[in-house]
Amino acid sequence: MSTEDPVAAEEAAPAASRDAAYWAKNVTTLKLGEVPAEAVNLNVTGRRVVGPVQGFGKMWQKTMRVELRGADVSPAEVIKLWKAEFQRFWPERNWFYAPLEGIAPGEVALLNLGLPGRMKLSTGVLVLYADDESFTLMTPEGHMLAGWITFSAETSGGVTVVQIQALERTNDPLYELGYVFGGNRLNSRFWVQTAENLARHLGVEPQVESQVVCVDRRRQWRKAGNISKNAAVRTFVWTLGTPVRWLRRPFTRRRAGQP
């Protein structure tokens, strides 16, 4: 067989997988692009992503489904809208700063999440996978959860059905404690509200079906050290330092040659 034969060469070369364009590529650590000035940008750049097998707590699979009965919208149209306006459907006091390129494989978004007691958590997500009818976000070290969450739409019985499915476990013992004492319920409520907001935007009075299953009851104590990267603690410490940074700002500006 001649290697100069283009047909033979094509046959010999490994064919690109049909899903290759939909997956993030060559991600080792996260790198965040420009973010708005009002955003708190901590705990993202330089972090590795963590899947459900790297976390600490019990592993949960959460599935929220809502039928868009009566809405004349295809699964691809729903996902296009969702990608374009992801922040709009989140519950109040939570911000998703979408990457400039939008929700596309390999892009990184900054999150500022509202916690109980008016606390804020700064973290991020990687767009792990995105096609026309679904997309998946994966969390970094320090995030409350280690895992990924998939947003998808499909046609079932002639009706477009939207689904949010998370596979997750808390990242460290502190988060796990919070999860046991109400965090798990609040997290499920967050995604139910998101599904409701999307359905209402499309003119549907939502009835969200919610299923929460514990996939693995064991806690991975060897991962307890993840607490050193806890984004809530780091954001809290950063917040405590705000007055000091504010007082030092004129001197910092002077050194930088600014008025």
Partner 1 sequence: MPGAEFGAEVRSHDSTGVIDLRGEINLGADQALLAAYERAAQDDPRTVVLNFASVDYINSTGIALIVGLLARARKEHRTVRAFGLSEHYRQIFAITRLSDFMGIYADEDSAVTATVST
Determine the Cα–Cα distance for residues 57 and 47; give it in Å rounded to an integer.
20
Pick from 3, 13, 14, 221 the residue near partner 1 by CB under 8 A: 14
Pick from 94, 150, 197, 239 the residue near partner 1 by CB under 8 A: 150
Q: Kindly list the distances between the CA atom of residue 233 and the CA atoms of 94, 211, 230, 240, in Å, as whole numbers in the listed order.
A: 18, 30, 6, 11
Determine the Cα–Cα distance for residues 38 and 163; give it in Å rounded to an integer.
32
Pick from 35, 51, 190, 236 the residue near partner 1 by CB under 8 A: 51
- Least separation in angstroms between CB 54 and partner 1: 6
Pick from 8, 9, 12, 53 the residue near partner 1 by CB under 8 A: 53
Q: What is the DSSP letter of 157?
A: T
Per rule CB under 8 A, is residue 104 in the interface with partner 1? no
Q: Which of these, 248, 152, 161, lies nearest to 208 by C-alpha position? A: 161
Q: Which of these, 175, 136, 169, lies nearest to 62 by C-alpha position? A: 169
- Least separation in angstroms between CB 212 and partner 1: 14
- Least separation in angstroms between CB 154 and partner 1: 8
Residues 154 to 193: which contact partner 1 by CB under 8 A?
A: 165, 167
Determine the Cα–Cα distance for residues 49 and 126; give it in Å rounded to an integer.
7
Q: Which of these, 169, 177, 174, lies nearest to 145 by C-alpha position? A: 169
Per rule CB under 8 A, is residue 25 in the interface with partner 1? yes
- Least separation in angstroms between CB 214 and partner 1: 10
- Could you give the string, one character per residue 120-139, with x where binding to partner 1 holds by CB under 8 A and - elsewhere? --------xx-x--x-x-x-
Residue 126: strand pairing partners: 108, 138
Per rule CB under 8 A, is residue 63 in the interface with partner 1? no
Give every CB contact of residue 10 below 8 A, 6+ residues apart in sequence.
none
**Pairing state of beta strands 159-170 and 145-156?**
antiparallel
- Could you give the string, one character per residue 202-241, with x where binding to partner 1 holds by CB under 8 A and - elsewhere? -------------xx-x-----------------------
Q: Residue 232 — φ and ψ, nearest 5°?
A: -70, -45
Pick from 13, 17, 100, 240 the residue near partner 1 by CB under 8 A: 17
Residues of this chain that interact with partner 1 (CB under 8 A) are 14, 16-20, 22-27, 49-54, 59, 61, 128-129, 131, 134, 136, 138, 148, 150, 152, 165, 167, 215-216, 218
